[in-house]
Every structure is written in C-alpha cells, then in structure tokens.
C-alpha cells in the first residue's frame, strides 16, 4: 500500500513518461449524457466500472461499499481491483478507449491526463449539485489543472508523523515525542535522542565513543528519505521556488534539509541506509530493530495487528513544525457514457461513512472537514480503537489540518519528467556517494528547462 500511495509523491513510476504521448481517448468536448432509456421506453441498466488498488482489507471494504451503492441506487458497479502494475494497466485501457468510469489514479498521471482532456472536469457537476458543497471538504485535497477545472480530490488523506515503540523509549530514558506542534522537537534534540536509542551489538549507544556503527542491532530511527519534503518545507524550502520558475531543491534551505537527512544515515548512524532498510522486517518496531519511524497514516493499520506498545508524535522540526499531506486522487474518466451516475458514485465514495472501516482501521484519514472538528465524528474513527493510539488526534489529525504541506504531486507541472532527473540525483545522496549540494546543484541546469510552474495557479 505504501508503495502505491507514494506514486502521489516524489517517487513516480517511469511509466508516467508514457502518458504524455497517449493518443486522445476522450469522447470529445463534452461528456455524453447518461443513457436514460431504450427504444422500448424501458430504462436501461446503467453499469459503471470502478478501478482501484490496495491490500486485502482495502479490496474487501471498497467492494462492499460499491455493493451497498448498488443496493441504494440501482446502478450496477463492477469492481476492478488491480493489486500490481496499476498504472500500466490503466495506461493501456485509456489508450484503447476502454477506461473505467471512476477510479484511483496516481497524481502524476492524473495531472497529465487532466491537462490532456482525458479526465472529466468536476466543476460543472459540483456547481449544478445542490447536495454537494466543495467547502465541506479539506482545502488541501483538491486537484486542479487550472481555476475552473477540477479533476478530483484525494482518495483519502494521508498525514505523516513519528511512530515509535514506547517501551524502548521508556527503557532508554528518552522523553516521549510531543504530540503538539508548538512542542515539536528541535532537530538537534531529535538527533541526540535517536543516538541514545541506537545500539550496537555490545549494547553501546551512538553517543558512546566506543560505539560500533558497523554492528548495529537497534536503530534509533527509520526515516525514509524519499519522504523528505516535510523536512525541506520545515526548513523554509520547497520543490520549486515560490514563483514556480526555479528549482527549489537546489536552494540553500532545501539542500541543508536534505543533507541533514543523509547525515542521519552516514554521519550519525541512527537510521538505516536504503540497502540496510531492505533487510529490516515490516515488524521492525515490534521486534525492536527500530525504536522510532517516520511514516504515513496508513502504517497504523498494520501496526494495530502487531503486539507492541505503539506511540505517536509530531515530526521533529528545523524552522517550523509541519507534516506532509499526501493522497493520490480518485477521478472520473472523460470517456464515461454515464457522467451523472459516475458523479453519484464519486460523491458516495468520498463520504467517510461509505468507507468507515478503512478510516477506523487506520489506513485512511477522512476527506470531510467536520470529521476533524465534531467530537461525535472524531470518536467514530480517531479515538478509542487500537489503530489510533493516545495522542493521535493531536499528532496526526490536528497537525494534518493545521500544518499539512501538500506533496509536489498535487501541483507541480511536468513532475514526471523533472523527477526522471531528480530521483537519480537524490539516489546519489541517499547512498552516500555525493553531498546534497553537489548532486542537486549538478542536476539543476538539466532540470531548469523542464520547469513549467504549478497547476491550479
């Protein structure tokens, strides 16, 4: 699941490059009207296809939600679950003019296909629907090609924070990570605690002058560097410059933040390298291979099934406290023959009540604002269950609302081609082969001609 969701962030699949050259597959200027009857005057059975990815739990919940929609509306829905190579499959279907009606899509593909007219503009549907108010949903979840052309919103909200094995921190005498933004750890304190929690095979922590970094049995931290944008923005940087004309990752604030992440692996030895990470189990927190991890909300679903004392906190800060806000969109494909019914299905799947098991189970966060403000709704998902430990409502829920920074996948134009250059450059940093400054300054002249600004501005 994590891999699928990160299609919305920096690590976009190379297949996105193919989407630019797809031949037009839409039905023309306007989406066709839904079919309301046949020659005999009888109503024709409308059937929609809904495509999605996800693990067994997500497949079960989504399929059940679609079945309930059928029962409520009489509109048949064929679930199309694609557990692997999702974008490859959808690219082939769109090129062959047999796309589903509604479905998940990676952010890069959604923006490219939306720009090329392959996705339905939702704004006319929203404006003509008295039962739907755009302002009821989080401002950060919308995908816009330009003002007046909205192609969708996140399938779900995904926030990031610190998750940790509480017993390990208590045993080491490390204070528990704060859950409130105004109390977030400063970076130096964060590194110091991570060192105290990193142990070699003799039980010495990384503050000990005799610590052996080649024989680590417990890492203080697991920080996937590809989730770097929270640190970059916390330090005052961004992927592009504010005016959308320059390569923001080559600016001093971003370079400093990225180097600090690399230093966690190669200077402080508190976080595993990409190669070392491959050897860690999914149960690294439970089995005490790792004390703390930076992860997205979805990890709570798996952790809830593991038997250990899970704690959560806000991310450490450089200059200001924030979190990443991620979430690939659900879209309506322009080729649908039933746009009105597709919109009914779209609204239904965006309602937290329809997919409550995924939200209550920790995989998703809801799209509607009131689910973050009304106590009776918060209690339905974010409190009183194993998937949402003490402190979650402050560390994840409130932090996402107040200080959520959208990943570049929401708005950076031409991101697939830019990342084709940026990702290999960053690989040199994450593998310890080059400094952040050398790698990012080195790739800047190649990236600059590809920069086209932001969508939706």
Q: What DSSP assignment string belongs to 211-262?
A: --TTSEEEEEEEE-GGGTHHHHHHTT--SB-TTSSSBGGGSHHHHHHHHHHH
| CA 204 – CA 300 distance, rounded (Å) | 30
Is the domain of 259 the same as that of 294? yes
Provide the CB-side half-sphere exposure for 15 (13 A, CA).
Answer: 15
Contacts of 6 (CB under 8 A, 6+ apart): 226, 326
Q: Are residues 149 and 190 in the same domain?
A: no
Residue 455 forms part of a structural domain: no
Residues 295 and 429 in one domain: yes
pLDDT of 418 = 96
pLDDT in tens, 120-149: 999 999 999 999 999 999 999 999 999 999
170 & 262 share domain: yes
Last residue of a domain, one of 366, 381, 396: 381
Distances (CA, A) of 28 to 65, 102, 117, 182, 351: 31, 18, 9, 51, 30
- On whether residue 229 sits in a domain, the answer given is yes
More confident residue, 277 or 12: 277
Mean per-residue pLDDT of the chain: 91
pLDDT value for 42: 59
User: From CA 328, how far away is CA 333, in angstroms rounded?
Assistant: 15
Q: Are 305 and 285 in contact (CB under 8 A)?
A: no
How many Å apart are CA 313 and CA 164, to the nearest integer? Answer: 8
Q: Which of 381, 396, 421 is the last residue of a domain?
A: 381
Residue 377 clears pLDDT 70, i.e. is over it: yes
236 contacts 257 by C-beta, under 8 angstroms = no
User: How many independent structural domains does the chain possess?
Assistant: 2
Same domain membership, residue 147 and residue 94: yes
End-to-end CA distance of the chain: give it in Å, rounded: 31
Judged by DSSP in three states, 364 sits in: coil
Integer Cα distance of 123 and 73 in angstroms = 23
280 and 428 housed in the same domain? yes
Has residue 247 got a pLDDT over 90?
A: yes
Determine the pLDDT at residue 355.
95
Residue ending a domain, among 381, 402, 424, is 381
Residue 397 is assigned to a structural domain of this protein:
no
Whichever domain contains 249, its CATH number is 3.40.190.10
Residue 219 domain-assigned? Answer: yes
- Compute the distance between CA of residue 205 and CA of residue 190 in angstroms, rounded to an integer: 15
* Same domain assignment for residues 212 and 145: no
Q: Are residues 362 and 301 in the same domain?
A: no
Q: What is the DSSP letter of 388?
A: B
Same domain, 208 and 230: yes
Whether residue 80 lies inside any domain: the answer is: yes
Bridge-based pairing state of the strands 329-332 and 149-154: antiparallel
Q: Tell me, yes or no, whether 314 and 331 share the same domain.
A: no
Query: How much is the pTM?
Result: 0.87
Residue 336 has pLDDT above 90, yes or no: yes
Residue 51 lies in a domain: yes
Answer yes or no: do 139 and 216 share one domain.
no
Residues 177 and 88 in one domain: no
**Measured between alpha carbons, how far is 80 from 49 in angstroms, rounded to an integer?**
7
Domain annotation covers residue 262: yes
In a domain, 236, yes or no: yes
Domain that holds residue 343: 2-21+46-157+327-381
Which regions of 53-148 does DSSP assign to beta strands (E)? 76-81, 102-104, 142-146
Burial (0-12, 13-18, 19+ Cβ within 10 Å), 66: buried
Per-residue pLDDT of 403-413, as tens digits, reads 999 999 999 99
The pLDDT, as a whole number, for residue 225 is 83
pLDDT tier for residue 183 given thresholds of 50, 70 and 90:
very high
């Amino acid at each position: 699941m994590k891999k699928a969701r990160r299609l919305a962030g920096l690590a976009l699949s190379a297949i996105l490059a193919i989407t630019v050259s797809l031949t037009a597959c839409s039905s023309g200027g306007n989406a066709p009207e839904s079919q309301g009857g046949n020659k005999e005057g009888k109503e024709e059975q409308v059937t929609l296809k809904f495509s999605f990815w996800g693990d067994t739990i997500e497949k079960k919940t989504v399929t059940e939600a679609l079945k309930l929609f059928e029962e409520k509306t009489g509109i048949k829905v064929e679930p199309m679950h694609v557990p692997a190579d999702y974008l490859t499959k959808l690219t082939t279907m769109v090129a062959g003019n047999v796309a589903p009606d509604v479905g998940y899509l990676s952010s890069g593909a959604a923006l490219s296909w939306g720009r090329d007219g392959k996705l339905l503009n939702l704004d006319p549907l929203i404006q003509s629907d008295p039962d739907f108010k755009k302002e009821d949903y989080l401002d950060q979840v919308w995908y816009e090609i330009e003002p007046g052309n909205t192609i969708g919103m996140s399938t779900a909200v995904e926030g990031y924070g610190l998750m940790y094995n509480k017993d390990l921190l208590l045993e080491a005498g490390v204070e528990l990570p704060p859950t409130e933004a105004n109390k977030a750890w400063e970076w130096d304190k964060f590194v110091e605690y991570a060192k105290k929690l990193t142990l070699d095979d003799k039980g010495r922590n990384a503050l000990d002058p005799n610590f052996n970094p080649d024989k680590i049995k417990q890492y203080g931290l697991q920080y996937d560097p590809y989730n770097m944008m929270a640190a970059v923005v916390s330090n005052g940087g961004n992927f592009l410059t504010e005016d959308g004309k320059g390569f923001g990752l080559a600016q001093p604030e971003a370079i400093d933040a990225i180097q600090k992440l690399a230093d966690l692996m190669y200077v402080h030895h508190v976080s595993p390298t990409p190669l070392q990470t491959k050897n860690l189990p999914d149960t690294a927190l439970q089995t005490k291979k790792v004390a703390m991890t930076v992860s997205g909300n979805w990890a709570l679903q798996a952790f809830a099934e593991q038997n250990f004392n899970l704690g959560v906190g806000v991310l450490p800060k450089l200059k200001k406290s924030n979190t990443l806000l991620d979430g690939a969109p659900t879209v309506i494909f322009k080729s649908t023959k039933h746009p009105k019914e597709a919109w009914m299905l779209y609204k239904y799947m965006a309602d937290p009540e329809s997919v409550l098991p995924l939200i209550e189970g920790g995989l998703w966060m809801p799209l509607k604002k009131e689910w973050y403000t009304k106590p009776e709704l918060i209690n339905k998902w974010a409190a009183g269950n194993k998937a949402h430990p003490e402190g979650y409502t402050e560390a994840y829920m409130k932090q996402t609302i107040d200080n959520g920074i959208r990943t570049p996948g929401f708005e950076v134009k031409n991101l697939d081609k830019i990342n084709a250059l940026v990702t290999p450059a960053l690989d040199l940093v994450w593998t310890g082969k080059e400094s952040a400054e050398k790698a990012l300054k080195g790739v800047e002249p190649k990236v600059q001609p590809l920069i086209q600004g932001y969508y939706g501005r």
